[in-house]
Chains A and B, each alone.
Chain A
Amino acid sequence: GENVEQHPSTLSVQEGDSAVIKCTYSDSASNYFPWYKQELGKRPQLIIDIRSNVGEKKDQRIAVTLNKTAKHFSLHITETQPEDSAVYFCAARLSGGYQKVTFGTGTKLQVIP
């Protein structure tokens, strides 16, 4: 099955700086890579996703890059704000029929004002 590793487990940045979270996956057949943000005690919410037919996707201050050859994908948050503080999860899904989504172990991001 798929295995997703996520780093770092914790990340502290100054407000206004950029934050980068990296994930690697094991199965080259994976074709869908969502990122979720979970604030303390709340539900995970999708913030951005990317499919294997593109290398980069941006949404305002958030971007995701995908390197299929190296089997890794990254989340980039620019101009960080205190409200970006949360736990971020990456995930990967194998292509073809129903395949479950495998989540990374999460990165706790703290943005220091």
Chain B
Amino acid sequence: DGGITQSPKYLFRKEGQNVTLSCEQNLNHDAMYWYRQDPGQGLRLIYYSQIVNDFQKGDIAEGYSVSREKKESFPLTVTSAQKNPTAFYLCASSIPHDREGQPQHFGDGTRLSIL
């Protein structure tokens, strides 16, 4: 059954700690994305990757880092530089956008909280 798997579902971070959120997809999609969701603010793009070994900053990349070493995987690290990390994090994938837009498929999300 194809889809996107995010783990863990819940994550707690201590002050000064880096934490990594996992995102794996078996949809054979080249493009992957990370969004942050806060109440009343919709989805804001953190990072995106159109292809393996390439990624670009989105609108709110400060305090986050990513890697794209494999097509199936796009982990997000929330660093200690992100001072307000409490949010719901969503990973998505799609066929790469070219002339036409393509729908994005989302994972179930990871809820990150500060201890």
Interface residues of A (CB under 8 A from B): 6, 9, 31-34, 36, 42-46, 49, 51, 89, 93, 95-101, 103-106
Closest chain B CB from A48 CB (angstroms): 10
Complex Cα distance A36/B58, Å? 20
Which residue of A6, A43, A105 contacts B90 across the interface (Cβ within 8 Å)? Answer: A43
B residues in contact with A36, CB < 8 Å: 106
18 residue pairs from A and B, CB less than 8 Å apart = A32-B101, A34-B104, A43-B90, A44-B90, A44-B106, A45-B106, A46-B103, A46-B105, A89-B43, A96-B99, A97-B97, A98-B98, A100-B58, A101-B45, A101-B101, A103-B42, A103-B43, A105-B41
B residues in contact with A98, CB < 8 Å: 50, 96-98
User: Which 8 pairs between the two chains have the least Cβ-Cβ distance?
Assistant: A32-B101, A43-B106, A105-B42, A93-B101, A103-B43, A103-B42, A46-B103, A44-B106
What's the A-B contact tally at a CB cutoff of 8 Å?
57
